Amino acid sequence: MYPNLPTHYTIIILITFYLLTHSTSLNPLNLNKNNWKLKQFNLELCNNLTLNTLSSSLNRTLLYYTDIYKYIPKISIIIVTHNENIFILKNTLKSILINTSLLLWNNNVKEIILIDDYSNPPIEEDQIKALSKTIRVIRNENREGLVKSRMNGARNATGEILVFLDAHVETLEHWLEPLVVQLISLRKKYQQEKHEQRNLQSQQNERSTSKLPYPVKHFIVSPLILSTLYKSDYDNIEDNLYLGGFSWDLIFRWHHINEGVTPLSIKYNKTNPYHLIYPQKSPALAGGLFAVWKDDFFHYGGYDEEMNIWGGENIELSLRTWMCYGQIEIIPCSRVGHMFRNNHPYTFPMGKEFTILRNHKRTVLVWFQHDTNLTLAKEYLSYFYTVSPESKIIPAGDIRSRRIIPNSLNCHTFTWYLDNIYPLLKKEAQSIVINEDTYYLTAFDNL
């Protein structure tokens, strides 16, 4: 599976991949309505969680080959919090401390950077830092929102690999190894392929003007995201192996692996259960849980820091990654429980709908419009405005710096993305005008 790594390294990673454990999840019973309304979580359950209830085992497995960790670079874990319940936040951090193998933690995890996005009251740093000396707390002087806060964390990170997590997650055992190993393997593969391509080019006739295409250059890997509300989600990977996607209004949605939404994914085959552990290429990221090389993250544009608070940043990052010679993979052997909530417990200073639509419009005006066929570019924009009519009157702000990116990096067109990565979205465009009203209601039903 990882031919570019030392043999003993490959063996131990395969062993790690099979250590899929059964962690205890939150139970949505006996909800306290006042607590639920305050933070959109069951605080009573969270308050009662201890290190013992976060995982079925406190064992951080000591791997046999301790020297393999010299092949793994330093890692920075970045978490943004704003008015998060302290117990939920502490349990997120505890799960990271518990479920990261001891050797990986001691040798490779450089820091956990916790960005306090101007919480009111501020997070209790003493309680947080008491969990581990590796935790750094950085408090924003003003409310910046998720996007700017993550960029703040990334700039302050000293690790070569950045791992972004939400403040309300529960990592499962050995969640980190599959992510970092896949990043290492993919980069090594790219470097070898690039070297081979250069050798081939040097052997070409000097009069030839043809250009051999370079392989995929950069990578984002995401864990399999499960719901903490249902314990079965932790055990049943087959039913919960979903890829990320979005509709023409840029609202994120899930696709089961067997829907065949992208020609790059591997459908699950019951005759070959190993398919459950294969990395799966995904058209889009679900949001804030992923790992990436720090130098790649900044070289290819980071986040659009003119986006406000939250919403759409994952779709913009997904389009930019695929269109600019990258790829996104979901790693089933890395599993993280996420506390999904129906409403945001925090405020949007300019209003939720305005903020999200503005962020979406910024994405569309840069990436939907990046096409050599101007007629198609106009058509893609019309699809977006048809299903998101309010966006027409919302100012997107200055996008000149973002429009430089696809041209400077010689990125693929949006048509290429539709044809090669997400053909389902292209197919669905045929029904937008025909069934406009229904599509509009469906698209905004989950806002």
Does residue 58 lie in a domain region? no
- Provide the β-strand partners of residue 242: 256
Question: And the tokens for 11?
Answer: 């063996």
pLDDT confidence tier of residue 23, bands split at 50, 70 and 90:
very low
Q: Residues 48, 50, 56, CA angle at the centre, nearest 5°?
A: 120
Q: Return the higher-pLDDT residue of 211 and 97.
A: 97
Q: Are strands 161-165 and 75-81 parallel, antiparallel or unpaired?
A: parallel
- Residues 117-150 pLDDT 10s: 999 999 999 999 999 999 999 999 999 999 999 9
Q: Which domain covers residue 432, as residue numbers?
A: 175-193+214-340+348-438
Residue 406, preceding peptide bond in cis (omega within 30° of 0):
no
- Residues 57-90 pLDDT 10s: 333 333 434 566 778 899 999 999 999 999 999 9
Which three-class secondary structure state does DSSP give residue 342?
coil
* pTM for this prediction: 0.81
**φ and ψ at 42, to 5 degrees?**
-85, 95
Q: Answer whether residue 8 shows pLDDT above 60.
A: no
Does residue 399 lie in a domain region? yes
Q: Cβ(161)–Cβ(291) under 8 Å?
A: yes
Q: Cβ(304)–Cβ(362) under 8 Å?
A: yes
Encoded amino acid at 36, one letter: W
Encoded amino acid at 25, one letter: S
User: How many domains is the chain built from?
Assistant: 1
Q: Return the higher-pLDDT residue of 395 and 196.
A: 395
Does residue 86 lie in a domain region? no
CATH number, domain with residue 329: 3.90.550.10
Does residue 154 lie in a domain region? no
DSSP 71: G
What's the rounded Cα separation, in Å, for the pair 370 and 8? 45
Q: Answer whether residue 177 shows pLDDT above 50.
A: yes
Q: Answer whether residue 447 shows pLDDT above 70.
A: no
Q: Answer whether residue 443 shows pLDDT above 60.
A: no
Q: Cβ(307)–Cβ(313) under 8 Å?
A: yes
pLDDT of residue 266: 72
What's the rounded Cα separation, in Å, for the pair 63 and 30? 40
Does residue 261 lie in a domain region? yes
